Amino acid sequence: MAIQAQQLNKAKSILDEAVRRGDLVFAAGLVGDTNGTLLSHVAGSYSGDADRPAQEDAIFAIASMTKLVTTVAALQLVDRGQLDLDMPADHYLPELKSLNVLQGFDAAGEPIYVPAQRAPTARELMAHTSGFVYSIWNADAFVAQSKGLTAGIGAGKQMLNAPLAFQPGTDWEYGISTDWLGYLVEQISGQRLMAYFAEHIFQPLGMTDTTFEFEAEKMDRGVSMMARAGDELVMSEAMQPVPAAPGSSEFYGGGGGLYSTLADYGLLLRAILNNGAMTDAVLLQPQTVDAMFANQIGDLKVKTCPAQMPVLSHDLDASFGASAQWGLGLMLHPEGTVNGRAPGSGSWAGLFNSYFWLDRAQGVFGIFATQVLPFLDPKAVATMTAFERAIYGLKS
């Protein structure tokens, strides 16, 4: 796919206009191909202060875009013969033995549990068919958290102590599967997750600004979190970046928590687009990358999940109504999308309205990022959609 200069210029102007209109305080976009970056552009400011315009090396929270990194890490273990994708994961993690499935609540409000028939496999953890869900989008899980039976995201390792919502392999629902996958990487590798990422992914690719801890000397590059209050954007009362010493976190969640930049995350996407390798860095074997983009959920459906916490998210429909499947760590678009992606392309997103896509057929990848709650904010999505359509030469 040859992207023309006018398409890139149009994409830039869309980011600029979103900030000028006041739809977003910060809007960032990157587009690349197998050879490198075609466009990197940031509009707006770090925190709404026009005297501090954001630069291209702005650091932002990527939330669930962390899941792709964790999946790559686990697939590296598969390539080395250390992890069997189809072995029940309690073979590696005794904590996954004797799981329960939460079927709902009785008339007295007590939980109804049945035993899980088996532990989920690593493949099911990657494909979100494990049975683990998020309380943000699952009603029973939300009630369980409200009753103090479970802990939600942000509770550290405690959030892993949750029942399944269905028997492994029988349904699809987005959830904490990748956090369990990250813990699995730690147990097999013998390294803490950040240390593993640094040695096997970040350093080989030159991703110098991607980390779980926000280093104090880089705080001036941090983007503030905003919240949509009616038609206005206000400074969020939560989720603001705070400095932390490297290695100081008690728990690294494989499902979220990383900070990154356009350039850094673009290096990861470029390596995947290059069948798992870039220059001297070989992340994955080509056949493993192929498996990432192969449907892993059979006839199961990637469904819309109704929001239980509107302050954090709208209803979860990140395929925007298009048909979708799930691969290993990626949502797949078997028929492509109306915004230009070819059939078989993959994508995902982060809670704070960051999005990426990988279009292998057309040899292009893209990132759009802002820092706004709730997830799937209509103005952020409209900007991302227009940005993507411009790249593909389509009218907004």
Q: Does the pLDDT value for residue 222 go beyond 80?
A: yes
User: Who's near 13: CB < 8 A, 6+ residues apart?
Assistant: none
How far CA 366 is from CA of 46, 268, 354, in Å, comes to 21, 11, 11
**Active-site hit among 46, 174, 196, 392:** 174
Average pLDDT across the chain, whole number: 96
Q: What share of the chain is helix, strand, coil (3-state, %, to 5)?
A: 30, 20, 50
- Set 67, 183, 189, 236: catalytic member: 67
**What pLDDT sits at residue 275?**
98
252 catalytic residue (yes or no)? no
Share of residues in the chain with pLDDT > 90 (%):
94
Q: Which pLDDT band, with edges at 50, 70 and 90, does 109 fall under?
A: very high
Annotation: CATH topology of 5-58+190-391: Beta-lactamase (3.40.710)
Annotation says 67 is catalytic: yes
Residue 280 predicted with pLDDT over 90: no
Where b means 16+ CB within 10 Å and e means fewer, 272-300 reads bbbbbbbeebbbbbeebbebbbeebbeeb
Say which residue the tokens 């609540």 belong to. Answer: 105
Which pLDDT band, with edges at 50, 70 and 90, does 1 fall under? confident
**Angle at which helices 5-20 and 378-391 cross, to 10°:** 160
Let me know if 196 is a catalytic residue. no
Average pLDDT for residues 54-68, to the nearest whole number? 98
Q: What is the pLDDT of residue 136?
A: 97
Q: What is the mean pLDDT of residues 336-354?
A: 96
Q: Residue 320: its pLDDT value, please?
A: 77
Q: pTM for the whole thing?
A: 0.98
The length of the chain, given as a count of residues: 396
Confidence band (pLDDT; 50, 70, 90) for 356? very high
Q: Where does the chain have alpha helices with state H?
A: 5-20, 66-79, 122-127, 139-146, 177-189, 193-197, 203-205, 262-273, 286-292, 378-391
Cα(268)–Cα(136) distance, rounded to whole angstroms? Answer: 28
Mean pLDDT lowest for which of 9-18, 148-157, 218-227, 243-252?
Answer: 148-157
> Which residue ranges make up each domain of the chain?
5-58+190-391, 78-187
- Helix H or strand E segment including 364: strand 364-369
